[in-house]
Amino acid sequence: MNKRNIVIAALLNMAIGTFSFKNFPQQNGEPWRKDQLIEPSVLAATLNDTSTQQPLIYSIGYGGGIRNSILEGPAKDSTNLLKWKNDLQKLPLEADLVIYCGCCPFEHCPNIRPAFILLNEMGFTHQKLLDLSRNL
């Protein structure tokens, strides 16, 4: 895990409680696995197919933009993250969730890692990150 992720993890620990790296199935130092990325075209097809179960979509950045997404605000802000955690506690751990930011390329995004780490730490099992590797 790189130094930036460790700092983010420490801040999350202070903001939302006990922190553990054991729940993070990491790939390339990221808190998500490759199979937890969802392509925009796949999400669009899901949203356009009313016969399929629709995921809860959370904008964890600076603005919304995807139909039916819930704007949580930047996840780098511990106040937003704590509010979102309280909202997430009302959901079953197997809820289909998609998060996205889109403010900048993944490697610079201050929001996707804290948000995905929170989902992992809470024990969610069907979370996805919208693969906006460049930006929205």
Is pTM beyond 0.85? Reply is no
- Within a 13 Å sphere around the CA of 59, how many CA atoms are in the beta-carbon half? 15
What pLDDT is recorded for position 27? Answer: 54
Place of tokens 């693969």: 131
- Domains of the chain: residue spans and CATH: 3-130 (3.40.250)
Task: Indicate if the pLDDT at residue 115 is higher than 80.
Answer: yes
- Report residue 30: phi and psi, to 5°: -100, 155
C-alpha dihedral, 88 to 90 to 96 to 102, nearest 10°: -20
Closest CA to 112 of 65, 68, 62: 62
Please report the DSSP string for 16-63 in residue order: HS---GGG---BTTBSS-GGGEE-HHHHHHHHH-TTSPPPEEEE-SS-
Q: What is the pLDDT of residues 41-70, one digit of tens each?
A: 999 999 999 999 999 999 999 876 888 899
Task: Indicate if the pLDDT at residue 74 is higher than 60.
Answer: yes
